[in-house]
Structure 1
Amino acid sequence: MVNIGARWKWSIAAVALLGLATATYFLKPVTGPPRNLALAGDAARGAYIIRLAGCGSCHTDHENSGAALSGGKPLTTPFGTFYPPNITPDKQTGIGNWTLAQFSDALSNGNSPRGNLYPVFPYNDLTLMSDQDVVDLYAAVMATPAIAHTTLPNRVIFPFNIRLLVSGWKNLFFSPHRYHDDPSHSASWNRGAYLANGLTHCVACHSPLNALGAVTSGKRFTGNSGGGPGGKAPPLTVLALLQDGYTRDSFAETLKTGLTPNAGKVGGEMGLVISDETSHWTDDDRKAVADYLLNLK
C-alpha cells in the first residue's frame, strides 16, 4: 500500500508545481514588435497627434483650470480612483527624464520606468500607433512647457493595487501590435480604422467592459451603458448610427460642432472630447472615422 503521507506530499508538490507554472505564465512580460525610434521627430505634427489621442482631455484638469498636460481630474472606476499623471517635461513631477524608448514602451507595451501601467491608460489601443506617430508625439510632449505639479497617488483596491498583477491582465487581454491597412478597403476607411481603434481609442469608451475592465470580446463599439472612466457611452454600430440619422457628412459635422442630426447638442464628457479634440481634427480625419464606423461589419 502507498503511504498516505506520501500521497499528500505528492499532491502538495503537484499543486505547488501547477501554481508555479501558472504564475510563470501570467506574470511573464508582454511585449510587441520592436519599433524604429531612429526616425526624426516632428513636434508640430506631434502637436496634432496630441489632439487626436486626447492627451489633453485626460491629462489636464479643465474643471480646476489646470495647466495643459500637468495632470487630470480623478477617474473613478470599479477598481478604484486613478489620477492621470503630469506628462509635461518637468523632471521632478512630470516625465522630463523619460527617454524616447521609455515613452514608446509606455504607449506600446504598457510599461513605465517603474513597472506596469494600469490599463485605464489605453495602451491596449495606442499600441497600434505607427512608429512615426510615436516619435512625433514624444517630440511634441517634450516641447510643451514644463509644469511642476505633483498629482495624487492612485487609490486602487486590493489586490489590484499590486502592479505586478497587471502582468496577468496583459497576458489575458493585451496583444501589442501595429495597425496594418486592409487592402479590401479605401484609404479613408483604413485611416478611420487606425484612428478609431488605435490613436483616438474610440473603441475603449464605446464598448462594454468585462469584470476585469477589458473590452468584452465580440462587443466592440456596441456601447458602454454601464459607464467607464469616461462615463456612459452610446453604441457606434452601423445600425445605431443610421437609426440616429447619421450619414458620413453629418457624423463628421457632429465631431466638429457637437450638433447632432436631430438638432441636439452633445454634452457631458463627449462634449469635452469634441471641444478639446475632434473639433481640432482635419475634415479628412473626421470623415475617415465616419467612413469606418458607417461601413463596419
Structure 2
Amino acid sequence: MGQRLRKLVSSLVVFGVVAAAAGWFLTKPEPWPASHWDGLGAPDPANGSLIFSAGGCVSCHATPGASGDAKLVLAGGLPLKSPFGTFHVPNISPDETAGIGGWTLAQFGDAMTRGVGSKGEHLYPSFPYGSYARMTAKDVNDLFGYIKTLPKSANVAAGHDLPFPFNIRLSLGGWKLLFFTDKPRVTIDASDPKIARGQYLVEGPGHCGECHTPRNALGGFEAGLWLAGAPNPEGEGRIPNITPGSKSIGAWSAGDIASYLETGFTPEFDSVGGSMVEVQQNMAKLPAADREAIAAYLKAIPAQE
C-alpha cells in the first residue's frame, strides 16, 4: 500500500511539473525576434509626430494638469482607476533613468506591440498594446524617434496599486492567451485604400476600441460588440456607440464625422465634451485625408444597435 501511495504521489508531482511547464510555455512573454526591428533605417520624426497625435500619447503620459508645450513632457503619474485596482501611468520621456531614454528600439517596440516590458516582463493591458499590436514597425520606429526629441523628465511615477491576484504579472500571460491578438477587430471590405487606412488608424494607433467597446469580467473586449459603446472608465455616464447603428452618430455622414474630428462641432452645432475633447484636439492635428479615412471606416463597420 505504501509503495502504491508513493507512486501516486510521484505521478502527481510529475504531472504538476509538466502542467506548470506547459502553462509557462503557453503564457510566457513573447517579444518579437530581434530581426523584426532590423533594416528600418533612421526614423522619420515628422511621421512620428503624426502617430504621436493619432495615439493621443499626451492624454495619459503628460503630467496631470499640464497645458500648452508642457504637455510634451511625458513625465507620467496619471492614476487610472479600474475594477482591478489603480494603475499609474509611467514616465516615457527620453530621460535615461526615469524614462525610456535608455531603451532600444526593440524594447520600445515590444512594449508597444507585444505588451512585453524592457526587462522581459508582461505589461498590464491598461497600456493599450492590444491595439498598438496592429502598428507597423516603421510607425513604431518613427514614433520612438519623435519621442526622443521631446524634453526629459526625472519624475519617477508611482507603481501600480493592485490587490491580489491582479498584482501577479504571470497571470497576464493567461489574459493574453485569451484576448491578445494582432488580427483585425472586424471583417470589412478593406479593398478601398481609404477604408483600409481608417481601419489601421482606428484599430491601431488610435486605439478607439479601448473606450468605445464593452468589456467582459476579465477585461477583454465583448465579442461582436466592436465600438458599440461602453461604461465610462472615469466612472460617470457612458462612452457612446460610434457604429452606423448608433441612434445619434449613426445618422452622421462621413463628412460630418471628419468635420467633427477637425473642428469639435457636431452637425447639430453642439461641441465636443468630456474626455473626447483631448481626443478631438489630437485628431485635428492629422492630415485631412486621415480624418476622412477614419470616417469612411466608421461608416463601413457592422452596425450595433
CA contact (8 A) 1:245 1:261 kept: no
- Residue 15 of structure 1 deviates from its aligned partner by 6.2
Identify the match of residue 203 of structure 2 among 173, 193, 197.
197
Query: What SS is found at the alignment partner of 1:240?
Result: coil
Query: What SS is found at the alignment partner of 1:236?
Result: coil
Corresponding residue for 2:23?
23
Give me the whole-angstrom Cα distance separating, in 1, the residues matched to 2:118 and 2:247: 41
Q: Are 1:82 and 2:87 an aligned pair? A: yes
- Residue 17 of structure 1 deviates from its aligned partner by 5.3
- Residue 240 of structure 1 deviates from its aligned partner by 0.7
CA contact (8 A) 2:243 2:249 kept: no
Identify the match of residue 49 of structure 1 among 41, 48, 51.
51
Identify the match of residue 289 of structure 2 among 284, 290, 293.
284
- Residue 14 of structure 1 deviates from its aligned partner by 7.5
CA contact (8 A) 2:37 2:106 kept: no
Which has the higher mean CA deviation after the structures are superposed, 228-237 or 208-217?
A: 228-237
The residue identity in structure 2 corresponding to 1:38 is: G
Matches within 5 A, 1:1-297: 5=5, 9=9, 12-13=12-13, 16=16, 19-20=19-20, 23-31=23-31, 35-39=36-40, 40-65=42-67, 67-68=71-72, 69-114=74-119, 115-176=121-182, 184-225=190-231, 227-228=232-233, 232-240=238-246, 244-275=250-281, 277-297=282-302
Query: What SS is found at the alignment partner of 1:23?
Result: helix
Give me the whole-angstrom Cα distance separating, in 2, the residues matched to 1:243 and 1:129: 27
The residue identity in structure 2 corresponding to 1:61 is: T
The residue identity in structure 2 corresponding to 1:207 is: T
- Residue 246 of structure 1 deviates from its aligned partner by 0.8
Give me the whole-angstrom Cα distance separating, in 2, the residues matched to 1:270 and 1:230: 15
Query: What SS is found at the alignment partner of 1:46?
Result: helix
- Residue 260 of structure 1 deviates from its aligned partner by 1.4
Give me the whole-angstrom Cα distance separating, in 2, the residues matched to 1:243 and 1:137: 31
CA contact (8 A) 2:242 2:250 kept: no
TM-score between the two structures when normalised by the length of structure 2: 0.86
Give me the whole-angstrom Cα distance separating, in 1, the residues matched to 2:36 and 2:247: 36
- Residue 287 of structure 1 deviates from its aligned partner by 1.0
Give me the whole-angstrom Cα distance separating, in 1, the residues matched to 2:31 and 2:251: 42
- Residue 230 of structure 1 deviates from its aligned partner by 9.0
Unaligned runs of 5+ in 2: none
Query: What SS is found at the alignment partner of 2:86?
Result: strand
- Residue 164 of structure 1 deviates from its aligned partner by 2.0
Q: Deviations over 1:112-167 (max 9, x none)?
A: 11311111111111111112101100110111111221211111121111222212
- Residue 10 of structure 1 deviates from its aligned partner by 7.1
Identical amino acids, percent of aligned pairs: 36
Query: What SS is found at the alignment partner of 2:200?
Result: helix
Unaligned runs of 5+ in 1: none
Which has the higher mean CA deviation after the structures are superposed, 241-250 or 100-109?
A: 241-250
CA contact (8 A) 1:31 1:176 kept: no
- Residue 27 of structure 1 deviates from its aligned partner by 2.8
Give me the whole-angstrom Cα distance separating, in 2, the residues matched to 1:235 and 1:132: 31
Residues 178/31 of structure 1: CA separation in 2 closer, same or farther (3 Å cut): farther
The residue identity in structure 1 corresponding to 2:214 is: P
The residue identity in structure 2 corresponding to 1:16 is: G
CA contact (8 A) 2:244 2:250 kept: no
- Residue 72 of structure 1 deviates from its aligned partner by 4.6
TM-score between the two structures when normalised by the length of structure 1: 0.88
